[in-house]
Structure formats: structure tokens, C-alpha cells
Amino acid sequence: MDKEKIKYIPEMPGVYLMKDRKGTILYVGKAASLKKRVSSYFQPSSGHSERIRLMVERIADVGFMVTGSEAEALITESAFIKRYKPRYNVALKDDKSYPHVKLTVNEDYPRIMLTRKLQKDGALYYGPYTDVKLLRKALRIMQKIFPLRSCRRLPKKVCLDYHIGQCYGPCAEAIDKKAYGNVVKELRLFLEGKRKRLIEELSKKMRKAAEKKDYENAALLRDRITALSVVPATRPGTGRQRAFISTRKQAGPYDEIVALKFLLSLKRVPRRIEVFDVSNTGPSEAVGSMVTFLDGRPSKDDYRRFKIRRVKGIDDYKMMKEIVGRRYEAVKKRRSRCPDLIIIDGGKGHLNAVLATLKDLGFERLTVIGIAKRFEHIYKKDRKEPIIFSRHSSVLHLVQRLRDEAHRFAITYHRHLRGKKLKMSALDGIEGIGPKRKRLLLGIFGSVENIKKASLEDLISIKGIDKTTATRIKDVL
């Protein structure tokens, strides 16, 4: 195996899959820190057992999935072991001595619990799991995301769990059996390690609810998607993971773009990122901007700004097509380096417009994503559904920062052109003020605004400005 691959593995909790040259999965494991755990297999002083030593000799690649916590990784690890049956995972012969997750699908309103007793009672059993402490944490996570009832018998009135949002309240008929059953199906996908499919299905339901103006249900679905889309981060110096983090976290920019690669399923770490935005308050002075980031840091020498030339009226799609087209026409002509990732400020419509332009220029292989302002969803070419990150996600914060920098640069240029135009028209329209007197006035007062504030006496005191001209300046401004 190429050991260089290890340095691109994030220090986040998750599940790793050791593969041979044919892509066959040899081993599945979980880790609080993927990078540290995977690295340990390739250390000369690891003291591996004979079984693991033989496995390491066959490893050609490592795949992995980042999870919100080590507890969640425990659930995914067990599901993957059941699915792939890796040769080097130790088979737990005495299943009954290990804890399992029991889902009582044999009941009208199923519940989830930890058990060591396997029965032929029609319930579903998941496991076995080797770490009961982590399993209890995982159950608490599942109870928050999928708030099924926990009581053995349905009471006649709702309990505290209902009031704190930890139960849907089937006892009070707060949810019908069909809707409750759908939540059970979603929980089964989670327990089977099918998180991607689960998020896609929840996203479809959320959009349908929003289209029907069922905003309360859409908000509940959004919160569940958010909980499933958490990106963990490591607190510096402690090695401990936190599921939710603030924008003031201390992870370095390069760590963030490595996480971006894996969470957006990019082909390589996006070391060079180019971000585009347009700014207009009307058909005149519409502008575009491109900002460049290298290893997560701004490269201001590579910033570019554009006056919109080819679009008449206000059409954001066409304006975005123009600036992206002009940028990569220049790249093609000069044979300049292409970016690893392009980010555009906009949703699916903007993305499709840009992809069509790049295809016309022969750059269809470039990776492009769009970030839509309204919900901050991420759109990609190869996905029908948007990628929805937790609002606390460090990766979402990174994309937002890059987008906001492009927006700032575009706005600054737009204001500059608009101010320049106002400055010129305000003085040029005054009788008796030619280029020479205009330069003189601006040289003394610095701006049209300061000229406007000046008194009549201040203006008359300037050589070449008489009382009539000064009065005219004051009247016009």
C-alpha cells in the first residue's frame, strides 16, 4: 500500500475498511481517530498478532466512512461486518454473551433496546457488539434522531419523553401508525449502515413537505438530516472529539479541505479552489468576481474581477456563465493550471449553467459545486439531491467562508464602479466645472461627499472658483 494515502485520512471517528488489490474487503474496524488507528497498522513496532500481520501484508488500499461519534461508528462497523463478512474479522461464536440491539417490529409501535437475550419472538436483532458502554451511547443517539417509545406498555397519557421531544407520543395518538412505521424503517437503514440512502430519502420527504407547505414536518425532517450529517472535529491537544463545533474552532485550513474531499466524495484533496460570484443592483455596472484559495488560504494575487459585457438586463445564470466562461477561456489560451475544485454562489440552476459552459470549453472533467443561499445546501453534478450539512459543520463553514470572500470581493468592485460613476456624473453635470477644476476640487476635498458638505466660503477660497460657480456647485450637489 502507498503509505502517502494515510496522511489524507482525517483525525475523526468512523469506520475503516482494509482492502486487497482486487478491492476485496479484508477487515472492518472502528476508531475514535481514523488516522491514528489506520497508521498504527503500519508501524514497525506495533506488535501485531500473526493474523493481523498476515492481513497487513495483503492491504493495498483503505476505505473509510466518517461518523458523528465513535458510538455511531460501532453501529456502522457491525453492519459492515455483517454485510461484507471480512476474512480477518474475528467471528464472535458465542453471540448470546454479547449485547445486541433489539427492535420490536413484532409490536404495533416498535421500540428499541439493548439486550443479551436472543429470542424467536419476531423482533429484529442487530449485533453482536463488543463494547456495551459505546452501545449505550449509540442508543441515546438513536433515541434523539428516531424518537420511538421506550415504555414497555403504552400508557394512557404522554410521559416526560414526549414533552422533551424524545418520543412521538403514540399513546396520545400524536402520530399515526403509518408515520411511526416510516420512522422505524428509517431506523433500520441506520442500523444497517445505509446512512447515505437514509439521508437521501429524508431529503425527498423534506422537500415534499415543504412543497405542500407542511413547514412543521419539513423542519422536523431537516433537524433529523442535520443530526445525521454532523461532521465531528478534534479539540486541539486533547484528542477528544466533539460532534458539534463553533466557527471559532482551531483546526487548520488544510485539515478542513481534507475533510471537504472526503465528505463531498471528491477525487483528490482540493488544494486549489476557485470561487465565483456576481453582484448587481440593476442592469448597469453588473460585475463578477473570482477568488482563489491555496491549501485553504486566500491567494490574493490570483483574485480576478469582471465587468459583465455580454449580458443585457438582469440574468444571474447568464452572468455566471459569462464570468466562468471568460475565466476558463483564458486558462485554455494560456494553458494555465486548472483548479481542483470550483465553487459557485448559487443552486442547481447556476450549477447547470456553469457545467454547460465548461463542457463547451472542453473542461467538463472539472469538479464544480454550488452553494444555494436560502438553505445553504450543496449541489453537485453527480447527485440529484443536495448535500445537507449540519449548520455546525466545519466543512459547511469552510464553503461558506470561501463563498463569502467571493461575495465581498464582488461587492467591493461593484461599489467602486458605482461610486466612480456617481462621482463623475455629479461633478461633470455642473456648468463651469471641467476636468481641471474637477481634479482640483477632488484633490482638496477628497470626495464628492466632502465637497457637498463644504461651505460656500470654503469653495470660494479655492483659486479659480468664484462665487457664481461655488453657488452652482452647492445648488447641484
pLDDT by residue (tens digit) across 432-441? 888 788 878 8
What is the rounded average pLDDT for all residues in the chain?
83
| Interior/surface letters 169-207, b for 16+ CB within 10 angstroms, e for the rest | bbbeeebeeeebeebbebbbbbbbbbbeebbbbbbebbe
What does the pLDDT read at residue 236? 31
Contact in structure between 74 and 138 (CB atoms under 8 Å): yes
What are residue 66's phi and psi, to 5 degrees? -80, 140
Q: What is the pLDDT of residue 238?
A: 33
Q: How far is CA 457 from CA 68, 100, 339, 465, 474, in A?
A: 70, 90, 58, 10, 11
Domain ranges for the chain: 1-90, 253-415, 429-476
Return the beta strands (E) in 404-460 as ranges. Answer: none
% of the chain surpassing 70 pLDDT: 90
pLDDT score recorded for residue 250: 38
Per-residue model confidence (pLDDT) at position 442: 77
**Banded model confidence at residue 138, pLDDT cuts 50, 70, 90:** confident
- Contact status, residue 346 vs residue 316, Cβ threshold 8 Å: yes
pLDDT in tens, 262-301: 778 788 889 899 999 998 765 557 889 999 999 888 999 9
- C-alpha pair distances (Å), 129 with each of 133, 145, 149, 232: 10, 20, 23, 23
DSSP per-residue letters across 244-274: S--TT----HHHHHHHHHHHTT-SS---EEE
* Residue 242 and residue 229 in contact, taking contact as beta carbons nearer than 8 Å: no
Q: Which residue has the cell 428509517?
A: 186
Q: Could you tell me if residue 256 is left (phi over 0), alpha (psi between -120 and 50 degrees) or otherwise beta?
A: alpha
Architecture category of domain 429-476 in CATH: Orthogonal Bundle (1.10)
DSSP 285: T
Q: Supply φ then ψ for residue 77, to 5 degrees.
A: -55, -50
Which residues 6+ apart lie within 8 Å of 341 measured at CB?
260, 266, 270, 272, 273, 274, 367, 368, 369
Mean pLDDT within 98-107: 90
Helix (H, G, I), strand (E, B) or coil at 298: strand
How many other β-carbons are positioned within 10 Å of the β-carbon of residue 132?
11
pLDDT-derived band at 246, boundaries 50, 70, 90: very low
Element (H or E) spanning 84, and its range? helix 70-84
Q: Within 13 Å, how many C-alpha atoms sit on residue 362's CB side?
A: 6
Alpha-carbon torsion 177, 178, 182, 185, what sign? Answer: positive
For the domain spanning 1-90, the CATH number is: 3.40.1440.10
Mean pLDDT of all residues in 325-330: 95
Q: Can you name the residues that pair with 380 across neighbouring β-strands?
A: 369
State the pLDDT at residue 450: 85
d(CA 19, CA 84): 11
SS3 415: helix
Burial tier of 4 (Cβ tally within 10 Å: 0-12, 13-18, 19+): exposed
What's the pLDDT score for residue 231? 44
Query: In this model, does residue 176 exceed pLDDT 90?
Result: no
- What span, in angstroms and rounded, lies between the C-alpha atoms of 239 and 33? 8
Dump pLDDT digits (tens) for 55-77.
999 999 998 888 878 888 898 89
Residue 172 CB contacts under 8 Å (≥ 6 apart), including other chains: 157, 158, 162
Q: What angle do CA 453, 457, 463 make, to 5 degrees?
A: 105
Instruction: Enumerate the β-bridge partners of residue 61.
Output: 19
Query: What pLDDT score was predicted for residue 421?
Result: 61
pLDDT confidence of residue 28:
94
Residue 418 grid cell: 458605482
Handedness of CA 297, 302, 307, 308 (dihedral sign): negative
Rounded CA separation 239/37 (Å): 13
Q: Which of the given ranges, 85-99, 282-296, 410-424, has the highest pLDDT on average?
A: 282-296
Instruction: Determine the Cα–Cα distance for residues 438 and 418; give it in Å rounded to an integer.
Output: 18
**Contact present, 159 and 241 (Cβ < 8 Å):** no
- Specify the pLDDT at position 342: 96
Q: Please give the CATH architecture assigned to the domain spanning 253-415.
A: 2-Layer Sandwich (3.30)
Q: How far is CA 243 from CA 67, 208, 216, in A?
A: 9, 29, 25
